[in-house]
Amino acid sequence: MTPVQIKTNSLSDTILIIEDDKSITRFLTVSLQTNGYKTLCADTGLSGISQFFSANPSLVLLDLGLPDVDGFEVLSQIRDKSDTPVIIVSARDQEFNKVNALDNGADDYVTKPFFIGELLARVRVALRKKQPKAAEDVFELDGFRLDDKRRKVFVDGNEIHLTPMEYKLLHLLVSHAGQVLTHAYIIKNIGGYEEHADSQSLRVFMANLRRKIEKNTAAPRYLLTEMGVGYRFIDE
């Protein structure tokens, strides 16, 4: 694997790598430092937890298959005290592992082997999510505009009329742009939906949303499906 350099302004961000495979750790370290990040490394879960609380990094890259404690336990200990972004980087590619990690507070999940360019993009997304939101409550991207103060949505300048539930769903996804939200997370965080919620109902809502805001529902630009896991609104 060859490190990739992508322009970044995150010179002050420190990333903690919790990974027991030394070759992957070296590769991640070189790639991240090449792109202006500072790095810390831990090869066990317990040392990773210790470094996290002593160094207060900006983001954590966490392997699940650690030699002493499972990565899920590390994630749990971090989430008990902090909302620092955590990206899982694991060889476990089963859907239930991804869903479990995201439901328990991981910001993203990358499966090994991975492309470093994609991982760096996900790092940038997670770090942007950590920044304070703009006061005007307006989200704009590639012809899409959500004005939360006016509760209006526009695509290419045309207003899109949504039902209250469709707006709640879209607002939730936009508020976490770039982040995969699991079915369970979406159902839990949309008020007034829980009592009659299931994955099939959610798919119906998503299909209706896509018909309204996407030019081509077969190749959506904004609302992406992570098969078996959940949905994601694009961020770049």
CATH at residue 195: 1.10.10.10
Mean pLDDT, to the nearest integer, of 99-114? 91
| Pairwise CA distance, residues 223 & 112, whole Å | 25
* pLDDT at position 136 over 60: no
pTM (predicted TM-score): 0.67
Q: Is 87 domain-assigned?
A: yes
Q: Which residues contact 176 (CB under 8 A, 6 or more apart)?
A: 129, 233
My answer on whether 21 and 117 are in the same domain is yes
My answer on whether 124 and 143 are in the same domain is no
pLDDT above 70 as % of the chain: 88
For the chain, the domain total comes to 2
Question: Residue 77 sits in which domain range?
Answer: 14-130
My answer on whether 121 and 210 are in the same domain is no
Single residue among 130, 158, 183 that ends a domain in this structure:
130
* pLDDT at position 63 over 50: yes
My answer on whether 20 and 123 are in the same domain is yes
pLDDT band at 9 (very low <50, low <70, confident <90, very high): very low
pLDDT given for residue 116 in this prediction: 93
Mean pLDDT, to the nearest integer, of 91-104? 89
Q: Which residues contact 91 (CB under 8 A, 6 or more apart)?
A: 65, 111, 112
Single residue among 107, 130, 153 that ends a domain in this structure:
130
My answer on whether 49 and 111 are in the same domain is yes
Share the mean pLDDT of the chain.
86
My answer on whether 207 and 123 are in the same domain is no
Q: Is 2 domain-assigned?
A: no
My answer on whether 103 and 173 are in the same domain is no
Mean pLDDT, to the nearest integer, of 83-106? 90
Q: Is 1 domain-assigned?
A: no
- Each residue of 125-144: b (16+ CB within 10 Å) or e? bbbebeeeeeeeeebeeeeb
Q: Mind listing the pLDDT tens digit for each residue in 140-199?
A: 988 999 998 888 999 999 999 998 889 989 999 998 888 888 888 888 777 555 444 567
Q: Is 223 domain-assigned?
A: yes
Question: Looking at 2-6, 28-32, 79-83, which range is the least confident one?
Answer: 2-6
| Pairwise CA distance, residues 17 & 41, whole Å | 5
49 burial level (CB within 10 Å; 0-12, 13-18, 19+): middle
Single residue among 100, 130, 160 that ends a domain in this structure:
130
pLDDT band at 68 (very low <50, low <70, confident <90, very high): very high
